Amino acid sequence: MIDAYSQLTGLFRRIAIVDEAKAILGWDEATVMPDGGAADRADQLATLSGVAHDLLTAPEIGDLLDAAEAAPPADPFESRNLYLMRRAHRQATMLPRDLVEAFVRQSSTCEKKWREAKNTSEFRVLAPSFSALITLVREYAQVLGDAFDVAPYDALVDQHQPGIASADIIPVFARFETFLRDALPRAEELQRQASYAMPVGAPPFPEVAQEAICRRLAAQAGLDFHSARLDRAAHPFCGGTPGDIRITTRYDEADFCSAVMSVLHETGHALYEAGLPREYARQPVGLAAGMAVHESQSLIIEMQAARSDAYLGYIGPILAEAFNQEPTAFAMDLLAGRLRRVERSFVRVEADELTYPAHVILRFRLERAIIEGDLSARDLPAAWNDGMRDLLDVVPPDDMRGCLQDIHWYTGLFGYFPSYTLGAMTAAQLMAAARRAEPTLDDAFARGDFAPLLGWLWRNVHRYGSRFGFNDLVMLATGSKLDPTDFETHLTKRYLS
């Protein structure tokens, strides 16, 4: 007879395949699905979510978990896999099937309203649908909070980065606020003295040329297009599955930097997915260790490596050739000035590396207030504008550049935003450790070669999947738990010296 653990791996493989189908449908929805398909897609995603939920909550799962735990596997990956299976089962059994389907259906509906509202910059178009979604998210969070004996908002954070809670986030964000209060005006003054507003190249930068550059740099960074695609979407993302990776971007013929850097960012996500342990594919332990870890992998490629002097010196001639302009128009100092320009901007995805965490801190505060019932949907635009004024002393001129700019909340993703800045801090800490182990990284970046960095990341992060929790993984890779010091050191060197 097949032992209980082996039976569980077979069942969880089926669940993973259903989730993979959802991921591809989600990519299709964001890239090529006609608007008229929205209602059908909502039903499809809701039904598949219900199927996955039924598989995970089947009575036999509980019985098999009991049997496997009575004689647990000795292998540490398999032991961790069993633990994660129990955790997933416990969570699913606490969530009623009708709540799961209602949540998925409403998130799909709300996303379509968000697209309409963003195009017209009118939050009121979205407010009723968003209010209905918030009700479901709060119910979802309460059920999970009760199941794991944590606050509802912390239950949502844990969904995206297991092992992290508000108590971990609040002091880290408070420390960064203090750092930013002093660093931002100093960086702005240095920038004025250095004339960092100088343009790079001469637009227009044709979309077809930008796409070719993006594909070239992504492939050179290590992305295998035999198992990956690059497409267009309203919001850049990395989706699909480890064996069928889908990344997207958007193009602006007045500014090539946005597309190039977003593709390198999403390539970082894709390389992490591709580097996960294949022997545990479609098992909980074979998945990414959480979204803060995932963001650390995208940001170590984009921010730490691709925006380094060495790499900018490498891509300058490539850009000049692609846009048929003089190489001097894409000199390293000009690219650095453009890509490191500090500005108190309205839009998170266009924010510079120094002010970006302030955008995340704002969202962290607002979504906590929403989940805890202290902020209603109708009051979000005003609360958003007040928060931007407090953190960056700017106020968005419209909802499109205010509370409608991100898709996350309007698809039900609450508790996700802290992962962006936790990931940035982790990326800096990982890069500091990688440089200690591989002192010639900049020489490789100057050749456009990310292989030494990726090799170090595979050995210290990728190959472990979810074998370790966030804190243990950071400790294993760097020798210490998450510490913002390396991030502040990086920012000081890049923007204040």
* Neighbouring-strand partners of residue 249: 232
H helices, E strands: number in the chain: 20, 3
Phi-psi map region of 403: left, alpha, beta (phi>0 left; psi -120 to 50 alpha): alpha
Q: 3-state DSSP call for residue 409?
A: helix
144 close to 95: Cβ distance less than 8 angstroms: yes
| Alpha helix stretches (DSSP H) within 121-199 | 127-148, 152-160, 166-194
Task: Give the sheet arrangement for strand 244-249, strand by strand.
Answer: 228-232, 244-249, 238-241
> How many C-beta atoms surround the C-beta of residue 324 within 10 A?
8
d(CA 205, CA 210): 7
What is the largest distance, in Å, between two alpha-carbon atoms of the chain? 75
SS (H, E, C) 334-358: HHHHHHCCCCCCCCHHHCCCCCHHH
Closest listed residue to residue 456, CA positions, set 223, 269, 334, 300: 300
What single DSSP character describes residue 308? S
β 228-232/238-241 pair status: unpaired
Q: Which tokens is 172 given?
A: 């880290």
Place of tokens 């799962």: 61
Closest listed residue to residue 326, CA positions, set 447, 202, 197: 202
d(CA 291, CA 301): 15
> How many C-beta atoms surround the C-beta of residue 186 within 10 A?
13
Which active-site residues does the annotation give? Answer: 266
